[in-house]
Structures are given as structure tokens and as C-alpha cells.
Amino acid sequence: MVSRLVARSQLDAVRKVVGDGSRLTPVGCGPVGRDGRFSGGLYRISDLTPDEDRQVRDTAGDLLDAEARVSVPVQGEPSVFGEPMDYHGRGGALPTLATLRERRGQPSTNGSGEGVLVGMVDTGVQPHPWLAGGYLSASDDFEPDPLNLPAGAKVRSAGAQSQVGHGTFVAGLILQQAPAAGVWVERALAANGEGPVDRVAEAAKQLAARGVHVLNLSLSCRAEEVEAREAMKDLVADLIAINKDLVIVAAAGNLRDEREAPEPFWPAAVGAQQVVAVGAVNGPGDRTWAKWSNRGPWIDFAAPGTDLLSTYVVGVLRPSVTKPEQQYNGWAMWSGTSFSTAIVSGAIARLMTDQGRITPALEAVDRLRQGEFSSGTTDADKAAPSVPVVELVTWDAQEEARHHASAQKPTAQEKVGDDATAQG
């Protein structure tokens, strides 16, 4: 028995094979028509026999497997860009308790993100001192505890839990850009960074229905068949029908190696006005694409994506079978278009709150397109046009601004660096 996802354009052909039975159900919540019935564009058909599956595909064309995997685009093991590493104050200050108090008390007129909700479909989130008060999460949306291992195991093994901490890392990046925003977390990906398309779709629709302003999708998949792409387009159409003011920020994806040709990743490549596709440059001020970043004419923005610092788990983990055990103290460095995407989501929330009121997310996106809050543009190449490079706000920059604001007061210089990691 197999299950498939059916796009709106395929419904009539599918019904010729399976009729209007209960096996054809809408995916997640969705727009409702005047008759009170679901009027969205993405359905799931369950328990197809091999013969039915063959008839459906002969009649309607290829259908996307409901269990097709969406995955997080990170540069991890064994790449040198890769796995999170312990961080001990190198290159800048880490968050201090004073910074934490300031994040919670940001006024709504200074681009802090106050009042903006950023939805996030990911691996979940782990409790973290700096994230406290910055996210909304049900008990089943927390990431698995990496130390909750079978008896006798001392460290997280590679593979099955290779992306533990991904959602925690993404949430930290969003809140670096917009410290007073709220991040609403839906866990739809497993600890290995993968999840079925239908579960991701359901989580995304729940967030849209709750009224989030920005939906961060630091995930992607290849959709090589036309029908699979149509299903992705219908998902986006459903999200916008549920929440007409929503902006969807999606990762462009990573290339497996430098020789791989860029290609569309979905849903970033849908091309709708309210879908923002994000690729990566290595760091602030760079104009050339990171060699591992996917890109194409459908890309809207780039943002730094290499060796970014953010919140992570606490524990002794083994990032891959070829790497030794490492102690993580709540902070890490990681790379990937996943994290460039989080920067852009946070930047949108920031720009929505820098004019004394909350402005529409699409208005903030337009300002980014016009070059506001950017460090320049990428160099156009054969694969992608020139696009704005969104600025990265880091904790050390926040620390500098805080000290500048209090420069008139005779306060003692806070000690940062190695000591600050103890608060992670």
C-alpha cells in the first residue's frame, strides 16, 4: 500500500480511478469555500494498491509520494564547513545575562521585531537560556534530548541524529536579527533533519492559520517531476489562501559538491510573490556565492551562511563517524543555506518594526529588494542574477550597540568571551 499527494489539477483524473471515497483527504487545515468545504489544492490519497497506484499514475501522471523526504540544507560532516564546533569567545562577544534582559525589554519602535511572529517548521527547539521567552512551542515540538541515549551509550551517534540542534540553531539566528520577535515552532522533521512532505505541509498550514507574519522554511527538496512541482505550488497557494499577508522564506538548498549544477529546490523555487528564496555567500561583505550554495534565476536574496554562531545543545556529541567526541556548551558554529534563510526571516521581522508600528511583511521584503539593510549585491553569474546580500546582525554587534547606548553612564566594562560561554 502506498500514499500519494494529489495536486488540484490532478483531482478529477484521480477520482476516475478511486471515486470520491474517504481515502482522498485534504492535507492539513486549509481555505474553506462558501459551501463550508475545504477548497485547497493539496490532498492525500491513502492505501493505494499497486494496481490502483499504476492506474492513478497512468491517468493523472506522476504523483508526489506522501512519504517523500524534505531535508534541511546544511553544510555538515564531512565538509570542512561543517558540523557545529564548540565556541569559546573567539571572534566576538557571546550573549551575556544583560543582553538577555535587554532582548526581553526591547521597545517596538527600534527594529527589534516586537509583536512580529515568525513561524518555523524544523526539527523542533531545545530549551536554552538565551532563547527563553523568545519562542512558542508545545511539548511535542521540543527536539529530542541528545543525551537521552540507550543504556551504555555515551555520545550521540552520527546519522540517525545528525541534525539534532538544527531548529535550536535556526531560532537563535532569527532572534539575533530581531531580538524581541516571537518564534513559533512546529516540529515536523526528525533528528536526522528529514521529514515527509505531508507532515511539513500540515505544520506549515497550522502556523499560517495561527497568523504568523513570516514562515521560515529552512528545508528543501528536489521535485523533478512536473506533478511534484505542482503539488508544491498548491501548498504555497493554500498557505497564502489561509493567510493572505504571509511571507514564506525558504532555503535555496545546498549543492552536494562544487561540480553539481545548480537546480531548483522546492518550495523556494515556486516563484510566487510571497515566497522568498535565499542562497548563501560566505560572510558579510562577500559578493560571490558560497561554492556550496544552490542558486538560480529564482533566487531573491543572499545572506552570510558560513561559520555562523548561534544557540545549540549542551552535551558530548559525535558529529560524524569520522570525528571525535566533542563537548558542546550551548553554542556552535555551522554553515548552510538553512541559516542564511533564518537571517533573512529575522531581517524581515526587524524591518517590520522600525517605523513605530508593525508594517506588512511584504512591505519589508520590498525594502530589502530595494537594498535596505543590505551589504551590497552578489556578482551575477551564469546561474543567478545579482541580488541583495542581507546584512547579518551578530551578538557582538548587539553588545557594541548596547555599550554605545550606555556610554554616557560610568559603568564597568562587562567581561565577555570565555566567561560568557558559562551562561550558555
Please tell me whether residues 51 and 193 are part of one structural domain: no
pLDDT band at 180 (very low <50, low <70, confident <90, very high): confident
> In the predicted model, what is the mean pLDDT of residues 169-185?
91
Closest residue by Cα to residue 394 from 77, 176, 165: 176
> In the predicted model, what is the mean pLDDT of residues 62-85?
51
Classify residue 226: in a domain, yes or no.
yes
pLDDT band at 135 (very low <50, low <70, confident <90, very high): confident
Task: Specify whether the CB–CB gap between 95 and 420 falls below 8 A.
Answer: yes
Cβ atoms < 10 Å from Cβ of 324: 8
Classify residue 391: in a domain, yes or no.
yes
The residues near 151 (Cβ < 8 Å, ≥ 6 apart) are none
pLDDT at 244 > cutoff 90: yes
Query: Which range, 134-138, 327-331, 362-366, 390-394, is most confident?
Result: 362-366
Please tell me whether residues 213 and 272 are part of one structural domain: yes
pLDDT at position 416 is 31
The residue among 264 and 1 whose pLDDT is bigger is 264
Please tell me whether residues 310 and 330 are part of one structural domain: yes
pLDDT at position 146 is 59
Query: Which range, 17-31, 121-135, 241-255, is most confident?
Result: 241-255
Kindly provide the b/e burial profile for residues 326-344, where b requires at least 16 CB atoms within 10 angstroms of the residue's own CB: bebbbbbbbbbbbbbbbbb
pLDDT at 344 > cutoff 80: yes
In tens, the pLDDT along 351-396 reads: 999 988 899 999 999 999 999 999 999 998 888 889 999 999 886 6
Domains held by the chain: number = 2
Please tell me whether residues 12 and 95 are part of one structural domain: no
The residue among 222 and 90 whose pLDDT is bigger is 222
Please tell me whether residues 30 and 81 are part of one structural domain: no
Please tell me whether residues 341 and 393 are part of one structural domain: yes
Please tell me whether residues 99 and 42 are part of one structural domain: no
pLDDT at position 147 is 52
Please tell me whether residues 43 and 150 are part of one structural domain: no
Classify residue 238: in a domain, yes or no.
yes
Classify residue 413: in a domain, yes or no.
no
Mean pLDDT of the chain: 76
Closest residue by Cα to residue 284 from 349, 374, 160, 357: 374
Task: Specify whether the CB–CB gap between 212 and 380 falls below 8 A.
Answer: no
Range of the domain at 60: 2-67
Classify residue 423: in a domain, yes or no.
no
Classify residue 411: in a domain, yes or no.
no
Please tell me whether residues 188 and 325 are part of one structural domain: yes
Please tell me whether residues 57 and 80 are part of one structural domain: no
Q: Which of 20, 46, 67 is the last residue of a domain?
A: 67
pLDDT at position 64 is 63
pLDDT at position 319 is 62
Q: How far apart are CA 8 and CA 2, in angstroms?
A: 19
Please tell me whether residues 80 and 29 are part of one structural domain: no
Q: Which of 46, 67, 88 is the last residue of a domain?
A: 67
pLDDT band at 318 (very low <50, low <70, confident <90, very high): low
Task: Specify whether the CB–CB gap between 331 and 92 falls below 8 A.
Answer: no
CATH code of 277's domain: 3.40.50.200
CATH code of 17's domain: 3.30.70
Q: Which residue has the cell 493567510?
A: 243
Classify residue 419: in a domain, yes or no.
no
Q: Three cell numbers at 203?
A: 505544520
Query: Which range, 22-26, 81-85, 172-176, is most confident?
Result: 172-176
Classify residue 331: in a domain, yes or no.
yes
pLDDT at 192 > cutoff 60: yes
The residue among 104 and 209 whose pLDDT is bigger is 209
Please tell me whether residues 48 and 154 are part of one structural domain: no
